[in-house]
Amino acid sequence: MAEIKVPELAESITEGTIAQWLKKPGDYVEKGETICELETDKVNVEIMAEESGVLQQLLANEGDTVAVGQAIAIIGEGAAEPTAALQAAPQPVDETETAAPADRAEQPAPQPVAVAQAPGQRPIASPAARKMAREKGIDLTQVPTADPLGRVRKQDVASFAVQPAAPQPAPQAAPTPAAIPAAEAGKPVIREKMSRRRQTIAKRLLEVTQTTAMLTTFNEIDMSAVIDLRKRKKDKFFEEHDVRLGFMSFFVKAAVAALKKYPYVNAEIQGDEILLKKYYDIGVAVSTDEGLVVPVVRDCDRKNFAEIERDIAELAAKARSNKLSLADLQGGTFTITNGGVFGSLLSTPLLNGPQVGILGMHSIKLRPVAVDEERIENRPMMYVALSYDHRIIDGKEAVGFLKTVKDLIENPEDLLLES
């Protein structure tokens, strides 16, 4: 018999949340087989069995926070050895199963599951019910169920969520009616618990705003030349490299050229020292259902357009399927984010600490532009923004950096020479 423990994840990650058990007590598992998914601050990690055997007991439930090195399950040889808690637990039932009205009439009146639980014991509930309860911020011990064994099902949680909350004992220092938020004074609300990743994003962004002297400078870029180049070369590019030519590779290469010209934008503050980085690992922000993540494209100064586009596509696919590794997210020197894909016209991107610069791209819009003193033409224009840490980057450098990016994008031939 052996314990399955939370493995070492990364230097900055000490705990995680059990997102989903993929095996249940009594299941036979092979060595190296995934038994559960752990949600950490940055990525989801699959926990694997270190030896073959029967899963005897789960020591943590879905939604529980567990620390690195903590035992979360017991695996052994032969048949499962149910504990007292497991003996009391019923077999999983089909979430779609329903009982006829006549059958329900023979069952005891619905009672909160908490009535049948010993002190400190968790309520019996299906994984789907636990997940819905976490999302809606519902205490499972307060959910009534018609099941004779007291198990809570998904439909019980759904029914409880749309009912008025049961009266709760008044706290010792009850707020006065005037102090109750209007949204909760008899109004329908939904209370959701923040995911671990969203909590981490919120914490890091708040730290950035409180610990840096962030400032943003703006410019606009005429995208005509790049758009024309893509139209002429995209088919041949795809045939030769089996990857599509997008705008992001142009901006990555332009950013690398600008970082070489203005090295403090590629730096980091460590105490009273400035760490100037002579490598160019560019983070590319990707939006996922769980929140924004920033996987890193390595050594962009040594890669051509096709290699950069391929890396971006692969990292984006991994991000949206929750397959990013910790190594994919660590060590970036500068970040590019493209709010334009969602229609953003202009925004102020927040720094991705400990980096001191981030470039924001926005949507391309046709706007009238003065070509010379006599002519005005409609041109595809993009606003760009550079947020930077004013502690080590002066306005002159920031404006010069953004002007360099603008000049290279508007003259892509020069960008090819810079590469």
Q: Check 241, 281, 390, 414 and give the catalytic one.
A: 390
Half-sphere exposure of 170 (CA within 13 A, CB side): 6
Q: Report the DSSP beta bridge partners of residue 417.
A: none
Q: To which H or E segment does residue 104 belong?
A: helix 101-105
Distance CA 158, CA 271 (A): 51
According to DSSP, residue 42 is labeled S
394 is catalytic: yes
State the residue for tokens 């000049």: 407
Q: Check 103, 228, 235, 394 and give the catalytic one.
A: 394
Distance CA 71, CA 7 (A): 10
390 is catalytic: yes
**Helix, strand, coil % (nearest 5) of the chain?**
35, 25, 40
> Quick one: tokens of 313?
């596509």
Q: To which H or E segment does residue 273 belong?
A: strand 273-276
Residues 6+ apart with CB under 8 A from 74: 1, 2, 3, 4, 55, 56, 57, 59
Q: Report the DSSP beta bridge partners of residue 112.
A: 144
Indicate which residues carry an active-site annotation: 390, 394
